[in-house]
Amino acid sequence: GTLQEVAEPQLGSSGPHTPITGDWRRSREAFLLDAGRALAEARSTEEVLRVAASLSMPGFSPDGLAVFGSVGERLTIIGHHGQSAADEDPFTDMPLDTDYPAAEVVRTGRAIYLPSPEEYRRRYPATWPLARRFGRQSWAYLPLVSSGRTMGAWMAGFQHPVGFSPDERAVLSTVARMLAQALARAGVAETERELSLGLQRSMMPTLGPDIPGMTVAARYVPTGGGLQVGGDWYDMIPLP
């Protein structure tokens, strides 16, 4: 699906809080439907991350995001948007016990909302000097949970202040759930594709020596479906 940004007041901006209107709720519902459809259609981790980077949440779209995955006792960046690879270097690979919001989210399975730089600096003084250079005003870190297991974390960063009202948190939580499901599906699909390609390569016959005046080629055509393995067996046997 194509995701369109809906021009609405910034619900989390500083100053008087903008009332949650029926129009905003309808925009939110339409956004979540489009986001769910687009994430469901993604067939690889790269496609999932591309969809996530294009999400325009009604009224409080993030300007940057990062998706972290946990493997053992390490936390690594799977993908990011809104900052250069060099800027993300300090966060690329870190122990899970690091004093960093994404690491705490994976450890506890609970979301962390930081509505101001002061709050970030107070709660995470060790990593604040690295985070402040992005010039953001608010951050949301949410767990990515699939089949009851926290597989990583999603960071959404905002250049404008966001108060993270219950409605805004509900939108972020829903997107995080859909993102986790899409990443899990993509991971399974990619594993199956790798297995399929490995089996196909193992089934390909080794072509014999060159035959003068003849060119021999092999093309594997599976019967279709599943792991894309199976079909006709063939080989080339030189005759005396």
State what percent of residues in the chain have pLDDT above 70. Answer: 70
The answer to whether residue 43 scores a pLDDT higher than 60 is yes
The answer to whether residue 176 scores a pLDDT higher than 70 is yes
* Backbone angle region of 147, left / alpha / beta, with phi > 0 → left and psi within -120 to 50 → alpha: left
In angstroms, rounded to a whole number, what is the distance separating the alpha carbons of residues 194 and 182? Answer: 18
- For range 3-16, the mean pLDDT: 37
Contacts of 37 (CB under 8 A, 6+ apart): 1
pLDDT at 165: 92
Digit-coded pLDDT (tens) for 54-71: 887 877 788 888 999 998
Query: Pick from 105, 95, 5, 113: which is nearest to 56 by CA?
Result: 5
Digit-coded pLDDT (tens) for 129-157: 988 988 999 999 999 998 889 999 999 99
- For range 210-218, the mean pLDDT: 73
> Mean pLDDT score of the chain, rounded to an integer?
79
The answer to whether residue 15 scores a pLDDT higher than 50 is no
Residue 215, phi then psi, degrees to nearest 5: -110, 125
pLDDT at 102: 95
| pLDDT interval class at 226 (50, 70, 90) | low
| pLDDT interval class at 8 (50, 70, 90) | very low
In angstroms, rounded to a whole number, what is the distance separating the alpha carbons of residues 70 and 157? Answer: 20
- Domains, the chain, with CATH or none: 22-192 (3.30.450.40)
State what percent of residues in the chain have pLDDT above 90. Answer: 35
Provide the 3-class DSSP secondary structure of residue 64: strand
* pTM of the shown model: 0.71
pLDDT at 4: 35
The answer to whether residue 187 scores a pLDDT higher than 60 is yes
The most confident of the ranges 35-49, 185-199, 208-222 is 35-49
76 vs 196, more confident: 76
